[in-house]
Amino acid sequence: MADYDPQFDFDASRYVRPDAVHRAVYTDPAIFDLEMRRIYGRAWLYLAHESEFKAAGDYVVRHMGTQAVVLTRDGQGEVHAIFNRCTHRGTTLCAFDKGSAPHGHQCPYHGWMFEADGALRFIPHHTNYDGVLDRKDYAIEQVRLETYRGFIFGNLSGDRAGPLVDFLGHMKTTIDDLVDRSPTGQVEVGPYALRHYYRANWKMTFENLNDTIHPGFAHAASVVSAKSVAATLPRDAVVPSLGMMMANGKPIQFFQDLDMITAPGGHSYIGGHMGADYTPNTQDAYTAALIAHHGAEKARQVLSVDRHVMILYPSSFWHARYQTVRILRPVRHDLTEMIGFTFRLVGAPEETYVNAVEYCTGANSAASPVISDDLEIYERVLLGNASGGRDWIPTSRAINEDRERTNAYTRTPATSEAYIRNQFAAWSHYMGQA
Ligand code: FES
Ligand SMILES: [Fe+2]
């Protein structure tokens, strides 16, 4: 495994204080480059779900920071990740986001052929290389992968990283929550991914998705619109995106009373705060299916978990109740891509999937009246922080209001900026190590 980390000291305390952060972390391209090596080069990053590889040769291209990797299922059923880069002259191997390559990946430049695990199988007109080059020396390097309940994570630092379960810690309970909601214990990724880009730093989404103060302001227009649309619908209509928009209009005291959980590694989630119903017939059929699989007690437990978005720093955002996982891809210091996936609960009524797609469309579509507010704010934060004025941005909201501390997590009011302080503690830890 190549070492992408230049050996120089980085003093994180010049940028992060316990109650503030320097604006340069959002605007400086040199800091972004170091983040790619030290944060995305060291953390476990969510990449794909096993259901994306149904047959031998199925592949997807995903990013680990700014580096593209190709994940492919081999003939023995194992999934491998290799860098998307031919070992001859460096051409990217796969041009598409996903596809099938049952005979291996062939470079379009001079036709070198690679196996799913990166082995170089074939060089056209190889006689020119006889006695010159050994194919074994030109395999594409593999990225270390580990899987938790069907979700595949990668780590660019190879054996130097600890196990995935240690990285997930308490947050694996949200992945459990998602999988346990399936009446068969199986979830399957849907066929469509919703993508959008925004013109701002990657950290903006991490700092926004557990921010409960902004919705009443940034999303005020969509609260009003959603209420007027909801007034025209039957009382029992279930429209998750409308539910999300109206929940954004709840009074701030509601969010102050709600809990936020932060955990080591920069991770966090907040309690659920939007309606989560299915139509009555679907709810009955779904509950019955869950009881058949789990038994009544476990089924009741599964249905009682109510969490809003979980932030899994620094790669992804998870909403178990709406079977939605969003992957964040940093492109430049001022450009970021978001990709949203929706999962089907295998064996559950179809409405549970439709409901999730509806939520994901509202939460991750470029046409969403909620996300479009956030994206404008992100860009304005970038522009503002790139201009003059004070350097330090406070992260002190509710800093003295923690409710409970354990080794696994800290519980705070959901209005706290504890999750941002927690992210920058992780940021400093990753960035400070040479
Ligand atoms: S660059 Fe890939 S085969 Fe030459
Ligand atoms: Fe928002």
Indicate if ligand 1 lies below 6 Å from the C-beta of 106.
Answer: no
**Looking at this protein, which amino acid is placed at residue 369?**
P
Same domain, yes or no: 198 and 329: yes
Q: What is the pLDDT of residues 299-349, one digit of tens each?
A: 999 999 999 999 999 999 999 999 999 999 999 999 999 999 999 999 999
Scored b (16 or more CB within 10 A) or e, 415-428 reads: bbbbbbbbbbbbbb
CB 182 within 8 A of CB 292: no
Hey, CA dihedral for 288, 289, 294, 298, is it positive or negative? Answer: negative
Q: Identify the pLDDT of residue 2.
A: 40
The CA R_g of the chain, rounded to the nearest whole Å, is 23
Q: What is the pLDDT of residues 343-385, one digit of tens each?
A: 999 999 999 999 999 888 888 888 888 999 999 999 999 999 9
Same domain, yes or no: 180 and 227: yes
Same domain, yes or no: 226 and 243: yes
Instruction: Give distance in angstroms: CA of 142 to centre of ligand 1.
Output: 18
With respect to residue 210, please indicate whether it lies within any of the assigned structural domains: yes
Indicate if ligand 1 lies below 6 Å from the C-beta of 126.
Answer: no
Same domain, yes or no: 326 and 217: yes
Indicate if ligand 1 lies below 6 Å from the C-beta of 283.
Answer: no
Position in ligand 1 atom list of the atom nearest CA 93: 2
Ligand minimally distant from the alpha carbon of residue 210 = 2
Structure tokens at 162: 């600890």
**Ligand 1, atom 3: nearest CA belongs to which residue?**
110
Q: Identify the pLDDT of residue 252.
A: 93
Instruction: Give distance in angstroms: CA of 91 to centre of ligand 1.
Output: 6
Same domain, yes or no: 123 and 246: no
Domain count, the chain: 2
CB 344 within 8 A of CB 353: yes
Indicate if ligand 1 lies below 6 Å from the C-beta of 143.
Answer: no
Instruction: Give distance in angstroms: CA of 121 to centre of ligand 1.
Output: 13
Instruction: Give distance in angstroms: CA of 103 to centre of ligand 2.
Output: 45
Indicate if ligand 1 lies below 6 Å from the C-beta of 86.
Answer: yes
With respect to residue 12, please indicate whether it lies within any of the assigned structural domains: no
With respect to residue 235, please indicate whether it lies within any of the assigned structural domains: yes
Domain-ending residue, one of 108, 136, 160: 160
Indicate if ligand 1 lies below 6 Å from the C-beta of 91.
Answer: yes
User: How many other β-carbons are positioned within 10 Å of the β-carbon of residue 133?
Assistant: 14
**Looking at this protein, which amino acid is placed at residue 90?**
G
Q: Mutation test of ligand 1: which of 109, 128, 135 has the most ligand atoms closer than 8 Å to its C-beta?
A: 109
User: How many other β-carbons are positioned within 10 Å of the β-carbon of residue 216?
Assistant: 15
Look at the chain and count its residues. Answer: 434
With respect to residue 35, please indicate whether it lies within any of the assigned structural domains: no
User: How many other β-carbons are positioned within 10 Å of the β-carbon of residue 304?
Assistant: 7
Indicate if ligand 1 lies below 6 Å from the C-beta of 89.
Answer: yes
**CATH code: domain of residue 320:** 3.90.380.10
**Ligand 1, atom 1: nearest CA belongs to which residue?**
89
Same domain, yes or no: 235 and 323: yes
With respect to residue 219, please indicate whether it lies within any of the assigned structural domains: yes
Position in ligand 1 atom list of the atom nearest CA 111: 3
Domain-ending residue, one of 141, 160, 179: 160
Domain-ending residue, one of 160, 179, 206: 160
Same domain, yes or no: 270 and 395: yes
Indicate if ligand 1 lies below 6 Å from the C-beta of 114.
Answer: no
Same domain, yes or no: 192 and 111: no
Q: Which residues span the domain enclosing 117?
A: 45-160
For helices 29-38 and 418-432, give the axis angle rounded to 10 degrees.
80
Same domain, yes or no: 94 and 189: no
With respect to residue 31, please indicate whether it lies within any of the assigned structural domains: no
Same domain, yes or no: 293 and 367: yes
Ligand minimally distant from the alpha carbon of residue 129 = 1
Please give the chain's pLDDT, 434 residues, in tens.
Answer: 344 455 568 899 999 999 999 999 999 999 999 999 999 999 999 999 999 999 999 999 999 999 999 999 999 999 999 999 999 999 999 999 999 999 999 999 999 999 999 999 999 999 999 999 999 999 999 999 999 999 999 999 999 999 999 999 999 999 999 999 999 999 999 998 999 999 999 999 999 999 999 999 999 998 888 888 888 988 777 777 888 888 888 899 999 999 999 999 999 999 988 877 788 899 999 999 999 999 999 999 999 999 999 999 999 999 999 999 999 999 999 999 999 999 999 999 999 999 999 888 888 888 888 999 999 999 999 999 999 899 999 999 999 999 999 999 999 999 999 999 999 999 999 998 75
With respect to residue 215, please indicate whether it lies within any of the assigned structural domains: yes
CB 401 within 8 A of CB 416: yes
Instruction: Give distance in angstroms: CA of 242 to centre of ligand 2.
Output: 14
Position in ligand 1 atom list of the atom nearest CA 86: 2
**CATH code: domain of residue 118:** 2.102.10.10
Instruction: Give distance in angstroms: CA of 370 to centre of ligand 2.
Output: 6
Structure tokens at 48: 């794909």
With respect to residue 2, please indicate whether it lies within any of the assigned structural domains: no
Same domain, yes or no: 97 and 131: yes
Same domain, yes or no: 277 and 395: yes
Indicate if ligand 1 lies below 6 Å from the C-beta of 112.
Answer: yes
Q: HEC states along the chain?
A: CCCCCCCCCCCHHHCEECCEEECHHHHCHHHHHHHHHHCCCCCCEEEEEHHHCCCCCEEEEEEECCEEEEEEECCCCCEEEEECCCCCCCCCCCCCCEEECCCCEECCCCCCEECCCCCEEECCCHHHHCCCCCHHHHCCCECEEEEECCEEEEECCHHHCCCHHHHHHHHHHHHHHHHHCCCCCCEEEEEEEEEEEECCCCHHHHHHCCCCCCHHHHCHHHHHHHHHHHCCCCCCCCCHHHHHHHHCCCCHHHHHHCEEEEECCCEEEEECCCCCCCCHHHHHHHHHHHHHHHCHHHHHHHHHCCEEEEEECCCEEEECCCCEEEEEEEEECCEEEEEEEEEEECCCCHHHHHHHHHHHHHHHCCCCCCHHHHHHHHHHHHHHHCCCCCCEEECCCCCCCCCEECCCCEEEECCCCHHHHHHHHHHHHHHHCC
Ligand minimally distant from the alpha carbon of residue 122 = 1
Q: Mutation test of ligand 1: which of 84, 89, 133 has the most ligand atoms closer than 8 Å to its C-beta?
A: 89
